[in-house]
Amino acid sequence: MERNAIIAGFGIALPPRVEQHDVWEGYFQFQYAGPRRALAKRIFDNAGVYTRHAAVSPMLEDVADWSTERRMRRYQAEAIPLGKEAVTRAITDAGLSADQVGLFAVCSCTGYATPGLDILLARDLGMAPDVQRLFVGHMGCYAALPSLGTAADFVVARGRPAVLLCAELTSLHLQPPAVRADVQQIVSHALFSDAAAAVVVRPGDVSGYAVRAVAAVTDSSTADYMTWEVTDRGFRMGLSPKVPDVLAVHVRGLVEDLLARHGLTIGDVDGWAVHPGGPKILDVVGEQLGLDEDALAPSRAVLAAYGNCSSPTVLLVLDALRRRPSPPRRILMLAFGPGLTLYGTLLEASTVTA
């Protein structure tokens, strides 16, 4: 029997909000001197971020010299309640109970613990002992899309609901002063933020968005353009300014090939959930796909309100699209990360009337 995999529940949980201006004025401006301070100020001003969320605000608690061990202990303390809140909201939104979940998948590249979030949250939320679990780490900003594809495959194959949680705490990885002055670190600290987002994928005829297709392309010749290294002082981002150039080469081909499998073209898509890795990323995607500013407005709004939260971010854009007065019928989700890797996912509205 053919089954659909429908995104039928959403849940978002956020740590305290901070203003980008306040973070600069209250902390980062004091971390640079001379021309480097002027450069950092321009980067912060042009990041496209106005507010963001931080489990650990540098204005209240400077973790720059913390060991990785100390950061990981804090990660677990902060991520568990955030993840629990997001998953609880998603399950409730889907009209399910926790013991009905067949697969629980968790994405996070900003912290590790064993037992992991998947085990501890499944226990605390009351999921069944036979729930299958999957933890996805170090895929970075695109992790939500292959994980969503895996959840959808499980739902179709097993006929049971799946939950996907993406939880990232980038604020724990503030770098020491000697590293922080590097331009790539300035960009990272100006963009990245914290969030948890969860979705429930259900089988059968329910209202929501059906997962129709997932596609990827990796340009391994540019693998060193985006890195996330584990150091003795947290995780350090490597972010080449050449990343948008690589996306420009591959994004249109990925999108056209994905849509062609379903007899569609770019013009048939009326909702775009593009991961807002930064303003230039959105500019390049818009140029290559011929999208107008209205198509990219949800992504820019998420960047402005939340910053780049790594893996949850594309789910935040999807949530914004589904909340529109007239939600789109077809949505193409796009996200990018280490590899360099591009992922695309096609969704189609599924409406059930009584």
Q: Which residues are catalytic?
A: 141
Q: How far is CA 129 from the centre of its chain?
A: 28
Sign of the dihedral defined by the CA atoms of residues 311, 316, 321, 322, in that order: positive
Residue type for position 266: I
Percentages (nearest 5) of helix, strand, coil residues in the chain: 45, 25, 30
Q: How far is CA 31 from the centre of its chain?
A: 28
Beta strand spans in 127-182 (E): 132-136, 162-169
Residue 95 has φ and ψ, to the nearest 5°, of 75, 30
Residue 333 β-bridge partners = 273, 345
116, 106 in Cβ contact below 8 A? yes
Please tell me the distance from the alpha carbon of residue 112 to that of residue 106, in angstroms, as a whole number.
Answer: 11
300, 276 in Cβ contact below 8 A? yes
Q: Reduced to 3 states, what is the DSSP secondary structure of residue 334?
A: strand
Q: Is 134 left (phi over 0), alpha (psi -120 to 50) or beta?
A: beta
